[in-house]
Amino acid sequence: MLYSDVRSLTRANASTSRIVVIGSGAVGLYAASMLAERGCNVIVIEAGQRHLGTFAADSYASIGRPHSGIALARSRSLGGTTNLWGGQLVEFQPVDFNGRDWLEGSRWPVSYDEIAPYYAPTYSRLGIPPQVQNDADVWRGLSAQRPELGDELEVFLTRWMRIPSSALLFAQQIQSHEKMEVVTGYTAVGFRGAGGRVEAVRVIDKEGAEHWIEGDAFILAAGTVENARLLLHAGQSRDWDCPWRDNQNIGKYFQDHLVNKVAVVTPADKRAFFEMFCNIVLGGYKFQPKIRLRNEILEKQQILNVQGTFIFESKVSEHLVYLKQFLKAAVLSRKLSGIGDFFRNGIGAARFLVPLMWTYVKDHRIFVPGSAKIMLGVQVEQVSVAQSRITIDGGTVDAHGLPRVLLDWRVGDRELRSTREFVSQARDALQSRGIGRLDIDEDLLSENPSFLASMRDNYHQAGGAVMGGSPGDGVVDKDLRVFGTTNFYVGGASVFRTSSNANPTFTAVAFTTRLVDHLTGSKSVA
């Protein structure tokens, strides 16, 4: 049930134990929904309101490598950043968890075999049915063969949620589930406890009044940046003996993916190329073919994990992107503007409507005009380095007394070489198979540092509260429990030791499925 007054949720009114979730984004509402279904009393605390909101500009600063995502890719609202993303789901690979001897700190305290079984139930809870969770089944449904690119490269599919916003996906439970209580407009600013047990979270309302919300277990799921800020701020409190006060890893190992366009693609046969790499629509679900190096090649060549996406640029795609964003804004009750642009883009796309629908129905593909320019874009894993970190500036505080976040994003020395190696092998594979030609950016081929400088972040923030085997190398253990505590957990990509080449949200939610199993003693997998 949705509340706007936290006073009705004081512990005095709760007859049984409850779990408190801080943050209502991809992890927070998912965890709350699953916990409620299993009979747990759960309360979700969200600092924002039901409508889209942002973080105050003076609450953060990027002091290292320029990072646009800290300003553009975070939402302070019910549903969190899921109100901004497209809902693309893709799994991490064994190489991401099991460690690489040549990459320091890359071994997670949980193995791929431990987390992989949680992907299937997480897909299902996010609306992706079993019949399209496996790539082979999707290609079979198309009556097509998966494209083969040789022994080094493989084609894989990402899946797109029909309802990417957590606020919409779990709307019915938010409104009516008797075990699930959601309160908006309250900012978490600290905790109290005894020994290793956290007993309550302190929240501030929009009038500046303080309230304490008690619980038996707590899940911090406020997003990578805010998780680190609250952990660091709480660790400085002198009002209680904070169990993580002396953990020097909090805020360290901040990561994001590096992205850029790297090559122009000239297909040998455009139609055949489109059939290989255009977006797929099957059974009402959208899939995007991408390419990556196989795990054994990454280990052998000692390069970072990179994925490639073929980008089809045309005037119609510009129109359709605008229309999609406009309609999405309407659905999510955002402030709408530019109605004239809406009609102009609608007219621009109209002449492609028939071929678009024909391609959609007959070929199960998203239509791309034959005149489209084709580019290869990359998404590159970042080396996790301790110097890339989140800190806080106690000299500047917001209206709730929270310190300003300082993001010092650092990139290592392997990203440029890894990108060049991946793109070079993609070029050779496409050419040897007669698929097409890649004309690679000359600055990338020469490993000019200016090319690395031109790569931007992809709004995939991770790290700051990484998993470890002990407080000496992490903030949380393999069950996401903060070291030194008995009942305090961190969710989301902030616990990731490495970031793969994949969008981090799906794996973060899969870990949440596992966390709920841990908290409830139930099993999502056999």
The pLDDT score that the predictor gives to residue 369 is: 58
1-126+162-255+388-408+462-526 classified as CATH 3.50.50.60: yes
Own/partner long-range contacts of 389-398 (Cβ < 8 Å, ≥24 apart): 389/251, 389/252, 389/253, 389/254, 389/464, 390/224, 390/225, 390/228, 390/229, 390/232, 390/251, 390/254, 390/464, 391/232, 391/251, 392/229, 392/232, 392/233, 393/61, 394/236, 396/58, 398/56, 398/58, 398/59
Number of residues assigned to the chain: 526
Question: Closest Cα to residue 66, out of 341, 408, 337?
Answer: 408
> Which residues pair with residue 281 across a beta bridge?
286
CA pair distance 460, 90, nearest whole angstrom: 13
Q: DSSP labels for 443-473?
A: HHHTT-HHHHHH-EE-S--B-SS-B-SSTTT
CA pair distance 434, 163, nearest whole angstrom: 38
The pLDDT score that the predictor gives to residue 400 is: 87
Tokens matching residue 97: 């968890």
The position carrying tokens 């290989």 is 276
The pLDDT score that the predictor gives to residue 333 is: 46
How is residue 335 annotated by DSSP? Answer: P
The pLDDT score that the predictor gives to residue 3 is: 65
The pLDDT score that the predictor gives to residue 362 is: 40
Number of neighbours of residue 455 by Cβ within 10 angstroms: 23
CA pair distance 244, 226, nearest whole angstrom: 16
Question: Closest Cα to residue 509, out of 216, 225, 188, 161?
Answer: 161
Mind listing the pLDDT tens digit of every residue in the chain (526 residues)? 666 667 666 555 445 689 999 999 999 999 999 999 999 999 999 999 988 888 999 999 999 999 999 999 999 999 999 998 889 999 999 999 999 999 999 999 999 999 999 999 999 999 999 999 999 999 999 999 999 999 999 999 999 999 999 999 999 999 999 999 999 999 999 999 999 999 999 999 988 999 999 999 999 999 999 999 999 999 999 889 999 999 999 999 999 999 999 999 999 999 899 889 999 999 889 999 999 999 999 999 999 999 999 999 865 544 444 445 444 544 444 444 444 444 444 444 444 443 433 333 344 445 565 678 999 999 999 999 999 999 999 999 988 889 999 999 999 889 999 999 999 999 999 999 999 999 999 999 999 999 999 999 999 999 999 999 999 999 999 999 999 999 999 999 999 999 999 999 999 999 999 999 999 999 998 7
pTM of structure: 0.90
The pLDDT score that the predictor gives to residue 17 is: 82
The pLDDT score that the predictor gives to residue 11 is: 52
CA pair distance 96, 404, nearest whole angstrom: 32
The pLDDT score that the predictor gives to residue 43 is: 96
Question: CA 317, 318, 319 angle in degrees (round to 5)?
Answer: 90
Number of neighbours of residue 442 by Cβ within 10 angstroms: 9
> Which residues pair with residue 107 across a beta bridge?
98
Question: CA 100, 103, 105 angle in degrees (round to 5)?
Answer: 90
Q: Are 307 and 501 in contact (CB under 8 A)?
A: yes
